[in-house]
């Protein structure tokens, strides 16, 4: 049974953030709110969590997991960013965008696309998610919580708890965004390629 933590969306309680981080470091898989709905998250290098996420979402080996980062400085440690990419990403972050980028050696191989060695990266515009990332001091291994057969992410913590009570370890209640999943942009081919249109306006990448 998942632990249910009711965290204030604007002023997250330090005690609950610390408890969540302790559980993440102990191997927990969490469901947490972001500006683009709920996401599943775990500590980097947590292979068991990756396997559980694949089972929950029925993902294949080519799925791009995402590094959810606190800020651009942290993001820059885990993905390769040249000047052109820097300008594009900086202009729209934090916000509802996920960028496919080449990973540095800091990223566990198990997270990467098996052939391209790429990974998703994003910086959320969500106070609670930002507070959790600051407390953790590292990116979260993450993916949007879109259940099989659905096109939109889950947005209510109590529904997540009801649906995934025995599949995750922690559900954080804290007002997720409802505008839809992130817009996904591949920046590895020389020219931006919009892979999925979501909450972020895609126009600047076309």
Distance CA(124)–CA(37), nearest Å, equals: 11
Domain count, the chain: 1
Angle (CA) 145 11 72, round 5°: 60
Range of the domain at 193: 3-205
pLDDT value of position 114? 81
pTM for the model: 0.95
Tens digit of each residue's pLDDT (9 = 90 or more) over 84-94: 888 999 999 99
pLDDT value of position 89? 92
pLDDT value of position 95? 94
pLDDT value of position 113? 85
pLDDT value of position 183? 95
**Which residues, given as ranges, of the chain have pLDDT below 50?**
none
> Which positions ≥6 away from 91 have C-beta within 8 Å?
204
* CATH code (residue 165): 3.90.870.10
pLDDT value of position 200? 93
């Amino acid at each position: 049974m998942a632990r249910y933590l009711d965290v204030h969306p604007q002023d997250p309680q330090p005690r609950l953030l610390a408890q969540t981080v302790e559980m993440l470091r102990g191997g927990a898989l969490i469901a947490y709110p972001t500006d683009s709905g709920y996401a599943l998250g775990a500590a980097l290098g947590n292979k068991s969590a990756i396997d559980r996420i694949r089972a929950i979402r029925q993902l294949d080996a080519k799925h791009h997991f995402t590094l959810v980062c606190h800020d651009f400085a942290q993001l820059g440690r885990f993905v390769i960013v040249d000047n052109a990419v820097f300008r594009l990403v900086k202009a729209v972050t934090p916000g509802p965008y996920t960028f496919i980028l080449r990973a540095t050696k800091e990223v566990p191989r198990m997270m990467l696309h098996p052939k391209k060695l790429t990974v998703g990266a994003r910086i959320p515009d969500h106070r609670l998610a930002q507070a959790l990332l600051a407390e953790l001091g590292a990116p979260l291994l993450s993916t949007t919580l879109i259940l099989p057969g659905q096109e939109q992410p889950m947005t209510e913590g109590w529904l997540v708890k009801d649906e995934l009570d025995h599949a995750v370890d922690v559900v954080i209640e804290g007002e997720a965004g409802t505008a839809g999943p992130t817009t996904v942009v591949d920046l590895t081919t020389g020219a931006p390629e919009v892979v999925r249109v979501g909450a972020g306006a895609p126009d600047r990448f076309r």
